């Protein structure tokens, strides 16, 4: 992996108030990565181009004390090393719109606010499999009401402990390597604990911490263990073609996404060359 492997973040927004926490995470992570943040809205053919509805990046950064109020767009790049790109995409449904955008633009991390919106319903529909194959990128899911690890009011990021649930597939080790580098960039004090629900722990590289074993229903055990240890984030590698849309279907990932107290990061194997 090159040093800039974690530089391009895409945040699709439906302009709803419920997506404000996810926006805060997207912006703060882009600043930490000194990367490029794509703010993406998928609209219908008749929807007007209203750029004013996009999240207000410079106002937010000023609220966080990172730039002076009234600073120019150029000042954001000069002071923070972070670039912002806003895009309006016309599409019949959000999934196809996101898929089309990702086919044309590099994306190292997709950040999704999951709530009872048209996006959520369509992700569960017939276009999900095609979108998953096209996206194939790590995705961070934040549910309504989740505090997450970024304070939307102050911009403080507290990512001190990540619980990564690993299985016996080949996806575990490359996902661990990806996560360890991403976490170090976001918060150098971050620790990662590995969990396997089953009888025998998978073997990862020598640099990985020991895998903790638990028994019980997989999703519920992951959720409960994350709560017990006070994790700030749950990470889950997926194998095959399970991407960000597949994670919202009836899988273990879906149960964790919809039941955990913490945001959930899904890391597809194909995003890592697996």
DSSP strand pairing (264-268 vs 139-143): antiparallel
The per-residue pLDDT for range 219-261, each reduced to its tens digit, is 999 999 999 999 999 999 887 544 555 555 557 888 898 899 9
The pLDDT tens digits for 5-26 are: 678 999 988 877 778 999 999 9
Q: What is the pLDDT of residue 94?
A: 78
Do 8-143 and 161-272 share a fold?
yes
Domain positions in the chain are: 8-143, 161-272
Q: Which tops the pLDDT comparison, 93 or 178?
A: 178
Contact present, 159 and 183 (Cβ < 8 Å): yes
As a whole number, the mean pLDDT across the chain is: 83
- Read off the pTM: 0.87
Q: How confident is the model at residue 54 (pLDDT cuts 50, 70, 90)?
A: confident
pLDDT over 60 (residue 205)? yes
- pLDDT at position 174 over 60: yes
232 in Cβ contact with 162 (< 8 Å): yes
- For 178-187, how does the pLDDT look when each residue is reduced to its tens digit (9 = 90+)? 999 999 999 9
Residue 194 · residue 209 · CB < 8 Å: yes
CA triplet 12, 17, 20: central angle to 5 degrees? Answer: 60
Integer-rounded Cα Rg, in Å, for the chain is 18
CATH code: domain 161-272 is 3.40.50.620
For 8-143, CATH gives 3.40.50.620
Q: Is residue 160 very low, low, confident or very high in pLDDT (cuts 50, 70, 90)?
A: very high
Sheet of 264-268: strands edge to edge? 83-90, 36-43, 8-12, 109-114, 139-143, 264-268, 233-238, 161-165, 191-197, 211-214
């Amino acid at each position: 992996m090159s040093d800039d492997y974690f530089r391009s973040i895409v945040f699709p927004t439906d302009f709803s108030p419920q997506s404000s926490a996810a926006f805060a995470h997207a912006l703060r992570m882009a600043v930490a990565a000194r990367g490029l943040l794509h703010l993406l809205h998928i609209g219908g053919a008749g929807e007007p181009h209203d750029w004013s509805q996009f999240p207000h990046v410079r106002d937010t950064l000023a609220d966080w004390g990172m730039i002076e109020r009234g600073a120019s767009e150029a000042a954001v790049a000069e002071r923070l090393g972070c670039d912002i790109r806003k895009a309006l995409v016309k599409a019949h449904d959000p999934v196809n719109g996101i898929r089309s955008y990702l086919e044309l633009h590099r994306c190292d991390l997709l950040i999704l606010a999951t709530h009872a919106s048209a996006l959520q319903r369509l992700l569960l529909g017939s276009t999900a499999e095609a979108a998953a194959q096209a996206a194939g990128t790590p995705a961070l899911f934040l549910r309504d009401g989740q505090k997450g690890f970024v304070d939307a009011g102050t911009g403080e990021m507290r990512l001190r402990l990540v619980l990564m649930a690993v299985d016996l597939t080949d996806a575990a080790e490359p996902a661990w390597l990806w996560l360890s580098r991403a976490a170090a960039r976001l918060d150098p004090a971050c620790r990662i604990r590995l969990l396997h629900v089953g009888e025998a722990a998978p073997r990862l590289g020598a640099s990985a911490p020991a895998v903790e074993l638990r028994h019980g229903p997989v999703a519920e055990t992951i959720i409960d263990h994350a709560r017990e240890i006070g994790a700030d984030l749950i990470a889950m590698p997926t194998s095959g073609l399970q991407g960000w849309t597949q994670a919202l279907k009836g899988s273990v990932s879906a149960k964790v996404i919809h039941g955990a107290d913490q945001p959930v990061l899904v890391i597809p194997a194909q995003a890592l060359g697996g």
